[in-house]
Structure 1
Amino acid sequence: MIAHARDRLNDDFSNPLRLSIMGSLQAVDEADFKSLKEALGASDSVLSRHLSALEAGGYVQIKKGYVGKRPRTWAKLTSTGHKAFAQHVQALKEITGLM
């Protein structure tokens, strides 16, 4: 029996905000927390929670530092994150017939 494309969807990206985070990060080298927050319309706590979950899954790398005296947080996709997201998007395309 041939597996259906839905079997290749990544459950870690089933939350709309996580999917949005992954989509935003795949298009850039890295993004700062404030830019992600504004682009996605998420609160600090919700964005932080989802970034932490994606980091725990090995999909996102979080870097903390300073710009001048102000603390900053940056996020970027790992190579695992790029690959997993590409596979997820491919499965979505197959399911929706947008191949």
Structure 2
Amino acid sequence: MLDPTRLAVVSVLSSARWAEFAFVRSTVAVSASALSKQIGKLEDRGYADVRRGYVGKRPGPGSTSRTADSPHWNGT
């Protein structure tokens, strides 16, 4: 959890129930691939829940949300 990018992502997600990937990317000011890597690590550890969307038949912008029932969050 000591990675600065990961801490910035957790900070953004802690203030919202969910956030779009593009919003988190622009707020944290990292590339899409770097953010995707960090979101994946948070998801693997139960800190985030990722919902992937589609535009037509192609994968499109997704959203990232904190997991409300996770023991890592206080439920607010």
Q: TM-score range by the shorter chain?
A: 0.7 to 0.9
1:82 correspondence with 2:73: yes
1:3-82 mapped onto 2 (5 Å cutoff): 13-66=1-54, 69=56, 71-78=60-67, 79-80=69-70, 81-82=72-73
If the length of structure 1 is used for normalisation, what is the TM-score?
0.64
Structure 2, unaligned runs of 5 or more? none
Q: Which of the two has greater helix per residue?
A: 1
Q: Which amino acid aligns with 1:27?
A: S
Gaps of 5+ in 1: 1-12, 84-99
Alignment RMSD, CA only?
A: 1.5
Segments of 4+ moved more than 6 angstroms:
none
Residue-by-residue CA offset, 1:44-95 (whole Å, 9 max, x unaligned): 11000000001001110000113x5471211111132314xxxxxxxxxxxx
Query: Which letter does structure 1 place at the counterpart of 2:49?
Result: Q
Higher relative contact order (CA 8 A, sep 6+): 1
**What percent identity do the matched residue pairs reach?**
26
The two structures have a TM-score, normalised by structure 2, of 0.82
Alignment deviations for residues 5-49 of structure 1 (CA, whole Å, 9 cap, x no partner): xxxxxxxx2111111111100101101111000000000110000
